[in-house]
C-alpha cells in the first residue's frame, strides 16, 4: 500500500495549482500568438470600452465615405471615357467632312453621311452606358437609358427638315431640335431633368458628378453629328453644291462643340481631383485610427511568442520535477 505524508500531499497540491496556472497562461499565449489579439481585452482595457467603441465607429464611418469616394471615382472615369469618345467621334467626322468637301459624286456624300450616322449611333449608345447598374447620363433616372435609339432621333429630324429649302434653314431646324425645349427634350433625351445630387464624401464635404445627356455640351456634339448624318437626306439630296456647303457647316458645328466638351471634361476633372484628395485624407485618418485600435487590441507577436516559449519551458520543468519527486517518494516508501 502506498503511504503518503502530509508533505507529499502538499507538494502535489502545489504542483497541480502551478500546472493549472501554466496551462491557462499557455492557452492565453497560444491564442494571442495565433490571432495577434489580446485574449483578455476587457482586462487590458479595465472594463472601459468607450474609447475602443469610438474608434470602431469612426473607422466604420470613414470606410463608408471611402466606398462612396471610390464609387464616384470609378463613375467619373466611366463618364470621362464617354466624353473622350465623343471628342474622337467628332474629330473623325470633321476630318471626313473636310476631306470630302466639295463633294464630286453623290456616292461620296452618301459615304460621309453613312459614316456620320454610325458615329451618331455610337455616341448615343455610349450615352446609354451604365456603371454598377446605374445609367451614367440619365440623371436621377438611373434605371433606364439616357437617350432614345439613334435611328429614332434621326428619323424625327428627317421629318423636321424635309419641307425646308435652304442650308441655313436646315441647320437652324436641327439646332432648334436639340436646343432646350425642342424635340430632343420630348423625343431624344429620356432621362431625368434632375442630375444626380452631390453626396457626402467626408463629415464636412459633398461632391457630385451631375453630368447628363441633357447638358448643352452633349447636345452640341449630337447636333453636329446629326447634321453630318443628314447630309444625304432631303431637302439636301441631289444638289452637290448645297451638300458641300452643308458639310462645311456641319464640320464647323462639330468643331465648335469640341471646345465645350473639353470644358465639361475639365470641370469633371476638377471634381475627380477633389475626390482623389478626399480619398488620401480618408486613408490617412483611417491609418491613424487603426494604429490607435491596434494599441488597444493587439499584442506584440514577438513578445508573446517569447513568453510562450518561457511558459512551455516552465511547464516542462514542472513535469520533470513532479516526476522526480514521485520517484523519490516511492524510494522512501520502499526503503
The predicted model gives 55-61 an average pLDDT of 93
The confidence score (pLDDT) of residue 303 equals 66
Coil, strand or helix at 196: coil
- Residue 182: how many CA atoms within 13 Å on its side-chain side? 19
Task: Express each pLDDT in 262-276 by its tens digit.
Answer: 999 999 999 999 999
The confidence score (pLDDT) of residue 36 equals 63
Burial class (CB in 10 A: 0-12, 13-18, 19+), 131: middle
The predicted model gives 27-32 an average pLDDT of 61
* DSSP bridge partners of 202: 205
The C-alpha cell of 219 is what?
A: 447636345
The answer to whether 124 touches 188, Cβ cutoff 8 Å, is no
The C-alpha cell of 57 is what?
A: 465607429
Closest-CA residue to 274 (of 216, 218, 206): 206
Closest-CA residue to 226 (of 117, 141, 67, 130): 117
> Cβ neighbours of residue 23 under 8 Å, at least 6 residues apart?
315
Q: Is the pLDDT of residue 305 over 70?
A: no
The C-alpha cell of 61 is what?
A: 464611418
Task: Express each pLDDT in 180-213 by its tens digit.
Answer: 999 999 999 999 999 999 999 998 999 999 999 9
Kindly calculate the radius of gyration of the chain based on its CA atoms and give it in whole angstroms.
Answer: 38
Concatenating the DSSP letter of every residue in 295-326 gives HHHB--HHHHHHHHHHHHHHHHHHHHHHHHHH
Of residues 221 and 101, which shows the higher confidence score? Answer: 221
The top-scoring range by mean pLDDT among 7-11, 158-162, 316-320, 321-325 is 158-162
> For the chain, how far is it from start to end, CA to CA, in angstroms?
13
Q: Which of 28-37, 147-156, 190-199 has the lowest mean pLDDT?
A: 28-37
pTM, rounded to two decimals: 0.79
Amino acid at each position: 500500500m502506498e503511504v503518503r505524508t502530509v508533505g507529499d500531499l502538499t507538494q502535489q497540491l502545489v504542483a497541480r495549482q502551478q500546472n493549472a496556472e501554466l496551462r491557462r497562461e499557455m492557452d492565453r499565449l497560444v491564442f494571442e500568438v495565433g490571432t495577434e489579439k489580446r485574449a483578455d481585452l476587457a482586462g487590458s482595457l479595465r472594463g472601459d470600452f468607450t474609447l475602443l467603441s469610438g474608434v470602431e465607429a469612426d473607422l466604420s464611418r470613414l470606410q463608408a465615405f471611402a466606398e462612396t469616394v471610390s464609387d464616384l471615382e470609378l463613375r467619373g472615369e466611366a463618364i470621362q471615357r464617354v466624353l473622350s469618345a465623343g471628342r474622337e467621334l467628332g474629330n473623325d467626322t470633321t476630318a471626313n467632312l473636310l476631306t470630302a468637301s466639295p463633294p464630286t459624286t453623290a456616292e461620296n456624300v452618301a459615304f460621309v453621311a453613312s459614316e456620320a450616322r454610325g458615329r451618331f449611333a455610337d455616341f448615343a449608345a455610349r450615352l446609354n452606358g451604365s456603371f454598377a447598374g446605374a445609367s451614367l447620363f440619365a440623371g436621377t433616372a438611373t434605371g433606364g437609358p439616357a437617350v432614345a435609339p439613334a435611328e429614332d432621333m434621326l428619323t424625327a429630324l428627317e421629318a423636321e427638315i424635309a419641307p425646308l429649302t435652304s442650308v441655313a434653314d436646315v441647320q437652324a431646324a436641327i439646332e432648334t431640335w436639340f436646343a432646350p425645349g425642342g424635340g430632343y427634350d420630348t423625343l431624344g433625351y429620356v432621362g431625368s431633368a434632375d442630375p444626380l445630387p452631390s453626396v457626402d464624401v467626408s463629415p464636412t464635404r459633398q461632391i457630385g458628378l451631375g453630368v447628363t445627356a441633357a447638358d448643352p455640351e452633349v447636345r452640341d456634339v449630337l447636333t453636329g453629328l446629326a447634321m453630318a448624318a443628314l447630309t444625304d437626306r432631303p431637302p439636301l439630296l441631289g444638289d452637290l453644291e448645297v451638300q458641300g456647303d452643308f458639310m462645311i457647316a456641319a464640320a464647323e458645328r462639330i468643331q465648335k462643340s469640341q471646345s465645350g466638351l473639353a470644358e465639361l471634361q475639365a470641370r469633371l476633372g476638377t471634381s475627380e481631383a477633389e475626390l482623389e484628395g478626399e480619398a488620401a485624407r480618408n486613408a490617412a485618418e483611417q491609418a491613424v485610427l487603426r494604429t490607435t485600435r491596434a494599441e488597444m487590441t493587439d499584442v506584440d507577436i514577438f513578445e508573446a511568442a517569447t513568453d510562450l516559449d518561457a511558459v512551455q519551458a516552465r511547464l516542462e520543468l514542472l513535469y520533470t520535477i513532479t516526476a522526480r519527486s514521485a520517484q523519490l517518494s516511492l524510494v522512501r516508501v520502499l526503503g
